[in-house]
Structure 1
């Protein structure tokens, strides 16, 4: 082996030793020294206090050697009032002893009073309730001798009660004075005078229109504008077509 070859081999061996040593140093630093730096004296891992009450979270933070404060409070529909929603720094991150953990805690869902829509027209009441952040619940119709038709008689809950946003308000709406409902008789095929007697008995008004109708006996009801059996208010008018008498 000549001198030149021997120098080349020595250089290669030294380079290999250097590379192996460098790799070993990196591994030792990463696996041994780094953890001691991050979790050593004065440095700790941030505890997870989310989902705890404010009191519980503060106790754990201070027992772990950290300061604690409530950064702000937010309304929440899913987390009970007074519980921690989020925190900074994030749980598990290394931090020096005495560092402050800031949290956001929950408030109850946002609330609003039930607006006073009594004696308002139903459509106006509906808009007023929806604009306040509430929803229309059940609508109950009742007859009233003193409150106009389509006017709100009362609400449930009553005006001024506090509800959470998105809750429902039930309405009682006037149908106007109670006149009673009757079923429309079958007038077709009846003589007009008989049909008028039946209508009068049921509290209905019969209004006849005469037409020349071939093959239908004179003064006989041929057609009616409201089907037999339909419910109408007492006092309603029923229009019928009657065969005109022969001239």
Structure 2
């Protein structure tokens, strides 16, 4: 055992051991420098870049030739209709011009199409304005001007500038005529006092009027949900106007808190009341025993 430790000690303290370790450290450091400064830059083209040229507003053929002269490739990722450019013109690119990229990098192009896509105009009449806008956008159309006319139902499409079913270019503008919720004629307010709330709502709706706020008033002798009053209190209103109704509700009586009965003790602080003798009327009664 001692011989083994002696042998190990000689190896550790030997100068050849230190020389070998130094050589290994030098080789490791050299390898790291070689990979970092030579191999990786060669593989990734480090310190070598190309400034991306501007290939928009030129034809696709011209853009191809220009990119190849810079050592770059290209790919058409989208064709879009744009009336501001002729057909087959580049209208967008990625990466954008002046960016520095590696050689042989691919540049993605958006090219103007010669034929605009055609879409069928959907029917948006009788839809709410919000739903009509969503519907037109889903079909690739744009909402143009919004003009308003008097009609009973508010924010409902009355007319569209392009009839439904028509085939138009994608991106075409469709103008809408919207209802403002007020009719252009005067209507008579029906008799709704003493009607139930559902009956009053039905009568007002038939007359072209709307029910807005509903207020409640406690009543004792009237069935709940009965119309007591309304406002504005006029015989005629413009079609589509809104009324506020006053409705009866169950009367809940608030019970008063009752204190206990007050008992007045007449004997309190009254010395005369301490006399326990019977009243004179009893003393003056004849003694039946003596008579016997």
Shorter-normalised TM-score: what interval? Answer: 0.3 to 0.5
TM-score by length of structure 1 reads: 0.42
Give the number of the structure with larger relative contact order, counting CA–CA contacts within 8 Å between residues 6 or more apart: 1
Question: Whose radius of gyration is greater, 1 or 2?
Answer: 2
